[in-house]
Structure 1
Amino acid sequence: NRIINTLKQYYPQPLEWFSHRGSLLLCELIIRWPSLQQLKRARRDTIRNFLNAKGGRAMALTEQRVASIDNAIPLTTDPSVIEANALMATALATQIKVVSEIIKTYDERIEALFDTLPDA
């Protein structure tokens, strides 16, 4: 997977924080904070609100993730490596997010149509 390989080059921590690597939450995190340095500059309450906004099971891991962010050490501090990979990761995360939303729309439409079938 291209986004996984890109993150491994400069920002592997999100791969540890999120078990489902194609999740919208992971993609949104990368889009909002494309590098560890940017994420560490964010206020803790901002990160908590971001992580809790989706609700669900992810909320149980919020404090653990925030603590992990506080303790995270950058894989690299080379600005060239970070910038190039951050641009690629942001582009890939945006693509995954758009495709996931389209698939969700298709799933909803299929479910609605399925319910109208006589043998359903």
Structure 2
Amino acid sequence: MNALPMILVFAASLNSCIGNMLLKWSRVSLPADAGVADKFFSISFLSGLAFYGINVVLLAKALDSMEVSIAYPILAGSGFAMLMVASYYVFGEPFRPHKWIGLALILAGIIFLARGN
């Protein structure tokens, strides 16, 4: 298999991770009593949506030459893995032993799927 579709899938998962981090940032950076317009028209919220859009475009391009049954699990798994690490460093979210085990299983699954073709 050509490496480009796999690179596109990983780029899409990175965009998904960034989008999720920006959505979280849009929630924690505002006061609890912020209005609807402040919550949904903040630069971090709109940027998060833009990164999701880029995610969809990259995945669609990868699907031109890759099976969706392989591409999507790799996208989701690698996105979850990136998100767990990023949320630990950016938001201080705990990284307990069960998350380490889950991360190892996700990475093993990604490797298994990527090599299975």
Q: Please report the TM-score for the alignment, with normalisation by the length of structure 1.
A: 0.33
Q: Please report the TM-score for the alignment, with normalisation by the length of structure 2.
A: 0.34
